[in-house]
Amino acid sequence: MKIKFKFNAKSRGQGVSEALNLAEKCGGLLEDKFYIVEYEDPRNKNLVKLFKLVGRLKGSVISIDNGEPINASKFFYAIYCQDKLLCKGVCKHVRLQYYSVEEFALAYSHDIDGEILRISNTNFFRTISEFLDAIDDTHFKFNKQLFLEHANIELETERLLCDKFDFEKFTDYVNKLPSEIELISSEELEDVSEEKFEQDQGIAYILSGCYIDNKLPFETIIRCSKAISLMSRFKPSRISDTDIKLYSYPELNQVIFVKLTVAEYDSSSEEPNDELETFTITEKQGFFTVKSDYFELYFQIFEESDPSIKDHFKKLEEL
């Protein structure tokens, strides 16, 4: 496998001078105005360093084995996958709603009856509408083939770079999911704790519409991506007498602190837009943050052994 990184050697962007020196040391070649450097190991530290220096400049691309340019963020997400140690080959990088295909049926197990998933949360339908075919106004077919075609395209980079990836296993999990989804009123559910459900899903719902600020340092972007990936797969623990939620991952020796505050609804104000909006995740006072007129979300991932973890917790309480 050959990884080719190309960047504009004539650019006046910050970092270009250092990138030129590094590219020359790595045996790069100058073609027209572009410097091209090839690596056999996708984890080569010099490749990562070059991307940090000039990866976001116009004209900078990564390709594999002389193929078409690929999304650099997806490339590094696949290479430095945080799930690889525990992965069974069923990639978690494509989501069905907020969940991997392994976790989806488990998350909605109490709402599944045979081949039908019955649910009253309308936000659910917005997140997977592109894979639903209407049977009638409240009854939909889950188009598994369409979802698999989507996943096949989205996971192209993982197929090339991940030795654990197994699309046949991925397909098996999808085929075992409910074939139909029905919208019902909350009164029809045996468990009508919809408000609690909405709260549990709120964090994942917000993050599903977010972009990480590309001005953040690359290591920070990776850390933020890891936190989002972990939070989307598990439910948090609630801590009494505080508005902070805690995600714990003992096998990784890591925890995530999260604080979500939602503005009280004012019936006299304009109705908020029900469509999923997009927001940018930035960093403030050591925490990742997302803000809108309706909510504020703070989160950060820490090592359990971090000696200052209590101080971080108190700091989050004060935000």
Per domain, the residue ranges of the chain are 3-69, 86-192, 202-318
Q: What is the pLDDT of residue 25?
A: 92
Q: What is the pLDDT of residue 237?
A: 79
Specify whether the CB–CB gap between 176 and 147 falls below 8 A: no
Tell the residue number behind the tokens 């709260």, with chain if given: 199
Nearest 5°: phi and psi at 210?
Answer: -110, 155
pTM of the model: 0.57
Q: What is the pLDDT of residue 283?
A: 94
pLDDT digits (tens, 9 = 90+) for 10-34: 888 888 999 999 999 999 988 888 9
Q: What is the pLDDT of residue 21?
A: 93
- Give dist(CA 185, CA 3) in Å, integer: 52
Nearest residue to 281 via CA among 232, 236, 221, 219: 221
Q: What is the pLDDT of residue 186?
A: 56
Q: What is the pLDDT of residue 196?
A: 40
Q: What is the pLDDT of residue 265?
A: 45
Which residues are CB-neighbours of 132 under 8 A, at least 6 positions away?
125, 140, 141, 142, 143, 181
Regions of the chain with pLDDT less than 50? 189-200, 265-276
Q: What is the pLDDT of residue 300?
A: 95
Cβ count near 174 (within 10 Å): 19
Nearest residue to 5 via CA among 15, 22, 14: 22
Q: Which CATH number fits domain 3-69: 1.10.3470, 3.30.70, 2.60.120, 3.30.420?
A: 3.30.70
DSSP string, the chain: --EEEEEETT---TTHHHHHHHHHHTT-EEETTEEEEEES-TT-HHHHHHHHHHTTSTT-EEEETT---B-HHHHHHHHT-TTGGG--S--SSS-BTTB-HHHHHHHTGGGEETTEEEE--HHHHHHTGGGEEEEETTEEEE-HHHHHHHHHHHTHHHHHH-SS--HHHHHHHHHTS-SEEEE--GGGSS---HHHHHHHHHHHHHHTTEEE-TTS-HHHHHHHHHHHHHHTTSPPEE-TTSSEEEEEEGGGTEEEEEEEEEPPP-TTSPPPP-SPP-EEEEEETTEEEEE-SSEEEEEEEEETT-TTHHHHHHHHHH-
Q: What is the pLDDT of residue 263?
A: 65
- Give dist(CA 122, CA 185) in Å, integer: 10
Which residues are CB-neighbours of 122 under 8 A, at least 6 positions away?
183, 274
